[in-house]
């Protein structure tokens, strides 16, 4: 599972109501050209703030799962494009060995 979305155990906005902030780990908060870090860790762009830890965990888990699905979809698209190109060059004539070789190549993508 990807860890793109992280949980900060405090309100990044300073709101007294919120106890947790879900942050996008791919978007660091920069101050003076450096990744901002406090005693609680590095800061990233806030996605949302939550009242309960369980809420923040659910939000982060859902967003991280979405990232995994997007990555899998991209890999599948690359694999299909590769295989379609190979098949068009074979004019429909391919063997079991060719399929194994093609799948091995797709796995490298």
The DSSP secondary structure of the chain, one letter per residue, reads ----EEEESS-SS--SS--EEEEEEEEEPEETTEE-EETTEE-EEEEEEESSHHHHHHHHHHHHHHHHHHHHHHHHHHHHHHHHHHHHHHTT---HHHHHHHHHHHHH-
The model's pTM is 0.67
**β-pair partners for 41:** 38
One pLDDT digit (tens) per residue for the chain, 109 residues? 568 999 999 898 888 889 999 999 999 989 999 998 888 778 899 999 999 999 999 999 999 999 888 888 888 788 777 777 777 776 666 666 767 777 777 677 5
Domain extent listing, the chain: 5-108
* Average pLDDT over the chain, rounded to an integer: 84
Looking at beta carbons, which pairs linking 81-88 to residues 24 or more positions away fall under 8 Å? 82/106, 82/109
Summarised one tens digit per residue, pLDDT across range 15-30 is: 888 999 999 999 998 9
Residue 27 confidence (pLDDT): 94
């Amino acid at each position: 599972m990807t860890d793109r979305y992280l949980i900060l155990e405090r309100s990044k906005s300073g709101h007294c109501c919120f106890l947790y902030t879900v942050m996008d780990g791919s978007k660091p908060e920069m101050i003076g050209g450096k990744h901002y870090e406090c005693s609680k860790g590095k800061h990233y762009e806030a996605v949302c703030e939550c009242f309960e830890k369980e809420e923040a965990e659910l939000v982060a888990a859902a967003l991280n799962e979405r990232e995994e699905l997007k990555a899998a979809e991209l890999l599948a698209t690359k694999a299909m494009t590769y295989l379609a190109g190979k098949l068009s060059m074979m004019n429909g004539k391919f063997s079991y060995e060719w399929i194994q070789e093609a799948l091995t190549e797709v796995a490298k993508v």
